[in-house]
Amino acid sequence: MELNGVVIEDTFAEGFPIWVSRVLITAATERLAKAAATEATGFACSVIMCPAEAGIEKYVSPAETPDGRPGYIIEICHPKKAEIEHQLLERIGQCVLTAPTTAVFNAMGEDATEELKVGFKLKYFGDGYEKKVKCEECDKTLYSIPIMGGDFLIESKLGIKKGVAGGNFFIMAENNMAALMAAEAAVDAISEVEKTITPFTGGIVASGSKVGYTNPKYSFMAATTNEKMCPTLKDTVEGTEIPADVNGVYEIVIDGIDEASVAAAMKAGIKAAVTIPGVKKITAGNYGGKLGPYQIKLQELF
């Protein structure tokens, strides 16, 4: 199958279950809201070695937020349910509560299957001076925690649900710059798909790694390079998966609140990527069903 002259391989992306929380951070200005959202989603590319997977989902205008201020929705993900609350407490407590003028709201809505008492626990930062307040603009009950910059406001509970991580596709192009431009176009397109994130730096994976393998010589490494997908090794590695006319490869990884959202993001990203001249092939990573139960087939997206 081809899309805009680019080969779409007959394969699938293999996703796995992950717990997801969707959180809205607002502030007095868009710049402050984005800064808090960026800090709260730091060091969260992959749970291979990061403590979580996280990213900024989208900007929300003042007309759409509960308190009438600019904000950003972030997603924080973890495979273990017991760990997701810990990640929320640490990231909001250290990166958002400490940021100027911020407030935090539950953005899961009806998608949530459970709620965690994150705001209820963070209120104790107030050391007895915290209080419940009614948000007049949004008719929500919040905890108000006095800090030097005024009061930090947060909803008592934040929703979670079982989502999907590991949606992915690989962009193969005739050179590195074409692959990079296609990857950036894909990330821009995916940013318009609600309830999904691309957790890696800039939304783009440059490294690639072998799943379920560590080099016994280097026990401190949780993952090692996927040499069969490295263009600079295609002439020396046996079983290379890099075609002769490909010299640039990037991967896009997507997490989301459900399989349908991740599939929609993959479709949008691929459609954008194949518009870039020099892109030769789109493929995906899977591990024969050993990694997770979700199989999002590339050709069936179209």
Domains of the chain by residue range: 2-14+164-301, 19-161
162 forms beta bridges with 19
Provide the pLDDT confidence category of residue 11 given band limits of 50, 70 and 90.
very high
Provide the pLDDT confidence category of residue 281 given band limits of 50, 70 and 90.
very high
Q: Which of helix, strand or coil describes residue 284?
A: coil
Q: Which two tokens stand for residue 119?
A: 């705001």
CATH number of 19-161: 3.30.70.520
Between CA 114 and CA 121, with CA 117 as vertex, the angle to 5 degrees is 165
**pTM of the entire predicted model:** 0.95
Q: Does the fold of domain 19-161 match that of domain 2-14+164-301?
A: yes
**66-110 residue pLDDT tens:** 999 999 999 999 999 999 999 999 999 999 999 999 999 999 999
Question: What's the confidence (pLDDT) of residue 215?
Answer: 67
DSSP-derived letter for residue 142 is E
What is the amino acid identity at position 75? Answer: E
Question: What's the confidence (pLDDT) of residue 290?
Answer: 78
Q: Which two tokens stand for residue 151?
A: 């009061």
**229-271 residue pLDDT tens:** 999 999 999 999 999 999 999 999 999 999 999 999 999 999 9
Cα separation, 208 vs 259, in Å, equals: 22
Question: What's the confidence (pLDDT) of residue 213?
Answer: 59
Question: What's the confidence (pLDDT) of residue 140?
Answer: 83
Provide the pLDDT confidence category of residue 214 given band limits of 50, 70 and 90.
low
User: Does 3.30.70.520 match the CATH number of domain 2-14+164-301?
Assistant: yes
136/184: higher pLDDT: 184
Residue 137 has pLDDT above 80, yes or no: no
Q: How far is CA 161 from CA 69, 83, 202, 256, in A?
A: 26, 13, 25, 10
